[in-house]
Amino acid sequence: MNKRILSIALASLMLVPVAGVAQKSQPTMKDVLGKYFLIGAAVNVNTVWNRDAKAAEVVKKNFNSIVAENCMKGEEIHPEENVYDWKDADQTVKFGEENGLTVIGHCLVWHSQAPKWMFVDKEGKTVSREVLIDRMYHHITEVVGRYKGRIKGWDVINEAFNDDGTYRETPYYKIIGPEYFELAFKFAHAADPDAELYYNDYSMSKPEKREAVCRLVRNLKAKGCRIDAVGMQSHNGLDYPDLTDYENSIKALAKEGVKVQFTELDLNMLPNPQNFGGAEISQHANYMKKMDPYKKGLTKNAQKQFNERYLAFFKIYKKYAKDIERVTIWGVDDGTSWLNDWPIPGRTNYGLLIDRNYQVKPVVKDIIKLFE
Ligand code: 9MR
């Protein structure tokens, strides 16, 4: 071998291990946080069908769990009384299974995005209690039954309390009465006895709401219902929720004997109109330039606040890891996050841990360090 060939051969030998080592030395969230709890993302249909291939890659690399952002909601999956549209939901479950991701189901009973036909008869008149119970039974039985053994757990009821702890006056509540909670959990359990069952809500750190949900857990248990965990959605902002209140909710729920999940974590970086917060989807305000200050990117100061706030939440998740079953980010990347359109449409928000170019944000390294 002459000298030139020898030096090329040596150089290429050196490159291979160097590249290999470089890849291995970058653990992702699922590698490290995954030892404590499930770490997930809400996925949309473009991701699971690989139409957004970059999003699909980012999910596979960084997370070990998924939940459908929209396609398992009543309106989508059950558009008419005896008509189900399974294709996107089937694909979501398939995407999860093919990539070793634990699949979570969202959501069975929710007043918002409920199928339009659910609460009225053919003449448009409100249905009777018996009819609605029957419809709820069929909906839950079909949807949960179809994915029996393939979905780890279901958000059985979503957002059923007001922030002051009173029952939200949903059609389910008005037509059936508070008994609908127990019925929904029983129907879901019968359809897949091995599936975990959850109650899920936003603004869960508000003391009145926390107390109402703890009471719900006690009532359900007293009635012999299965309930494994409560989801604190965690659509957070820079100045809400109060972290002590947040921790108090984790403690209170754990005391009731259920696991805690952070089911829809994100961090709203934009100014909110007065009295907005939580995730009340019906809230809406018109676009104003001054409410959209970071079109070209966060300022240094805002970036610093973003990092510190995310770290504060993950410190709490580490502290209470034994009580926590799952942390799920609500979306994959900033570009497709619902926060760009709520409560003001068309803004540029930065609430997630993956940016618009599908790059994992720098704070993730520090989050990972917390758990190493
Ligand atoms: O992120 C979802 C968005 O794409 C939908 O338009 C919206 C409509 O209901 O629902 C969003 O997800 C909500 C979730 O299902 C329940 N908690 C609040 C979430 C944000 O609104």
Residues in contact with 356: Cβ distance below 8 Å, sequence separation at least 6, in sequence order: 333, 334, 335
Cα→Cα distances 59→50, 67, 199, Å: 11, 11, 25
Each residue's pLDDT tens digit, 186-218: 999 999 999 999 999 999 999 999 999 999 999
Q: Are 267 and 238 a contacting pair, CB within 8 Å?
A: yes
Alpha-carbon distance of 40 to 63, in angstroms, equals: 5
Alpha carbon of 130 to ligand 1 centroid (Å): 29
Local structure of 329: helix, strand or coil: strand
Each residue's pLDDT tens digit, 135-156: 999 999 999 999 999 999 999 9
266 lines ligand 1 (CB under 6 A): no
Catalytic residue among 69, 196, 264, 325: 264
Which among 157, 168, 281, 284 is the best mutation to test ligand 1's pocket, defined by most ligand atoms within 8 Å of the CB? Answer: 281
Percent of the chain predicted with pLDDT > 90: 88
Q: How confident is the model at residue 16 (pLDDT cuts 50, 70, 90)?
A: very low
Alpha carbon of 342 to ligand 1 centroid (Å): 10
Alpha carbon of 172 to ligand 1 centroid (Å): 19
Each residue's pLDDT tens digit, 96-131: 999 999 999 999 999 999 998 999 999 999 999 999
Q: What is the CATH number of domain 25-371?
A: 3.20.20.80
- For residue 315, give both structure tokens: 């410190």
Residue 273 has pLDDT above 70, yes or no: yes
Q: Is 159 a catalytic residue?
A: yes
Query: Which of 65-69, 87-91, 283-287 has the least mean pLDDT?
Result: 283-287
What pLDDT does 265 receive?
98
What pLDDT does 11 receive?
46
Domain ranges of the chain: 25-371
Q: Is 142 a catalytic residue?
A: no
Closest by Cα among 184, 144, 111, 187 to 119: 111
Which amino acid residue places its CA nearest to atom 3 of ligand 1?
Answer: 338
Catalytic residue among 69, 159, 196, 325: 159
Pairing of strands 38-43, 65-68: parallel
Indicate which atom in ligand 1 lies nearest the CA of residue 107.
Answer: 15
46 lines ligand 1 (CB under 6 A): no
Which amino acid residue places its CA nearest to atom 17 of ligand 1?
Answer: 279
Alpha-carbon distance of 366 to 45, in angstroms, equals: 30
Alpha carbon of 19 to ligand 1 centroid (Å): 41
Residue 161 has pLDDT above 90, yes or no: yes
